[in-house]
Amino acid sequence: MSVEIDSNTGVVTSVQTYNINNRFINFDIAIDLRIKNKTKRWRVKNKAILNVVIMNMLASMYKKHRLYYSRQRNKKESNIYNKRGISNAEICNAIDELEQLGFLINHKAPRQYGYTQEDKMSSWIQPTPFFATEFVTGAESLIQANNAWIGAFVPIIMKDKDKNPVDYRADENTFAICAVLNRLNTVNARYVFTDPEGLEFTNCYGRVFNNENFEEGGRFFKANVLNIENKESKNRLRILIDGKPVVEVDYTALHLFILAEQKGLAHTLGDDPYKRVQGIDRSIVKLAVNTMLNCSSRLQAVQSVNSDIRKLGYEGCTGSEVVGAIFKAFPAFKDDFCNKQCTGLFLQNQESWMTHYVANNMSTLGKPFLPVHDSGIVLAEDKHLLIELMCNAYKHILGVDSIVHMKINYIDDNLIIKEDVSC
């Protein structure tokens, strides 16, 4: 096993400077006996915690993951994600000690925003040549560590109203969720995914539910495909699977259509509901509708939309005007916008079960599948299968027989093509 080392800095470059391929420290990773034997004579405070960090570092080196952690020392995972009862402070102390011993380079973030994969500025650690010399005994040692990380991965995260992970009761429903996620992750692991720069990345999905309720949230998160910048570049369409091109199929205005199906109004929305708001850029309308479905008050929505308008450099209107225009365009949805019940979490839940339906069928067939909220990425050769499954998922989950409005996106001769595939 050759370990790449930067000739100028002497740092192991198993982790790229820019890397969408990341992981967070898994507190419950199994410790290899070889690592225990290596550290048992060390004169350190807590060998068990150091072993956890070392195993995670080895697992991350296998596929060149960047290994993230949080320096919020007062945080502690709930028992279902942290059977060892390790505190965040203990992890921070172990990392600091391994850095002092010369095994790690510790990149401390200027600010901390928690410890979920959606966070943008968590701290991360990097192995040194000394670490590689001491702990890497060949490809097999990295493979074993990677398998240990995957084996300890918890597919379901339940959060409370403050977005902190909490315990949940396992039952037939959770077993079914985990079975599909585990099969999806296992199938995807058989394929090689490369980003637009040609760098390999992996995807290990979990589902995140909100407000201690399996009927709120539930979206598919954690996979590294979600870290690929896509808004302007459409870089997700430049992903390759085993060197082959991909397509992305997405539902059109899915959350609006779900609401309309509930009210028996789906047939009144047309093929693109966002176009009902006249005189305002469609991208602003789309962002604002999503905001209004997830904000608890009209004022909060206006402030958020104003922020989006500034970021996009759009000068055609104000947040107040956009929010007002949307209320006017969708009078039947006035009680669903800007309410304390957070309609968006219910809509995300419906969306997540559609994704679950598609993931179950794709993984059963052994096909690679990358869910991205209300869209899915597959090999171009599997596009007709994905369209059929997404269509069936919509009708099955919502219990309707309506037209399902969808678009397919792909690259042809370096041009981005978008086609209607409603069915």
What pLDDT sits at residue 173? 93
What pLDDT sits at residue 45? 80
Q: From CA 157, how far away is CA 167, in angstroms rounded?
A: 8
The gap from C-alpha 252 to its chain's centroid, in whole angstroms, comes to 21
Angle, alpha carbons 99-100-104 (nearest 5°): 20
Instruction: Supply the DSSP string of 138-180, one letter for each residue.
Output: SHHHHHHHHHHHHHT--SEEEE-TTS-EE-----HHHHHHHHH
Question: pLDDT digit of tens for each residue in the chain (423 aa)?
Answer: 445 555 555 555 554 444 688 899 999 999 999 999 999 989 888 899 999 999 999 999 998 899 999 888 776 666 777 889 899 899 999 999 999 999 999 998 865 544 444 444 578 999 999 999 999 998 999 999 999 999 899 899 999 998 888 888 889 999 999 999 999 999 999 999 999 989 899 999 999 999 999 999 999 998 999 999 888 788 999 999 999 999 999 999 999 999 999 999 999 999 999 999 999 999 999 999 999 999 999 999 999 999 999 988 888 899 999 999 999 999 999 999 999 888 999 999 999 999 999 999 999 999 999 999 999 999 999 999 999 999 999 999 999 999 999 999 999 998 999 999 999
What are the structure tokens assigned to 191, written together?
Answer: 């394929």
Angle, alpha carbons 275-276-277 (nearest 5°): 90
Contact predicate 238/225, CB 8 Å: no
Amino acid at 382: D
Q: β-pairing, 22-24 with 66-69?
A: parallel
Q: From CA 182, how far away is CA 204, in angstroms rounded?
A: 9
Q: From CA 107, how far away is CA 125, in angstroms rounded?
A: 6
Question: Tokens 């290596």 label which residue?
Answer: 38
The neighbour count for residue 315, using CB atoms within 10 Å, is: 8
What are the structure tokens assigned to 27, written together?
Answer: 């507190």
Contact predicate 263/332, CB 8 Å: yes
Contact predicate 123/70, CB 8 Å: yes
Domains recognised in the chain with CATH numbers: 22-151 (1.10.10)
What are the structure tokens assigned to 243, written together?
Answer: 């060197």
Contact predicate 208/221, CB 8 Å: yes
Q: From CA 419, how far away is CA 406, in angstroms rounded?
A: 9
Q: Coil, helix or strand for 404?
A: coil
At residue 124, what are phi and psi to the nearest 5 degrees? -145, 160
Contact predicate 382/392, CB 8 Å: no
What pLDDT sits at residue 3? 54
The neighbour count for residue 44, using CB atoms within 10 Å, is: 14
At residue 204, what are phi and psi to the nearest 5 degrees? -130, 105
Cβ within 8 Å of residue 310, ≥6 positions away: none
pTM of the entire predicted model: 0.86
Q: Taking the CA of residue 275 as centre, how many other CA atoms within 13 Å lie in the half-sphere pointing to its CB?
A: 6
What pLDDT sits at residue 114? 45
The neighbour count for residue 295, using CB atoms within 10 Å, is: 24
What pLDDT sits at residue 301? 96
Beta strand spans in 195-344 (E): 200-201, 206-210, 213-221, 240-241, 246-251
Q: Coil, helix or strand for 318?
A: coil
Amino acid at 136: V
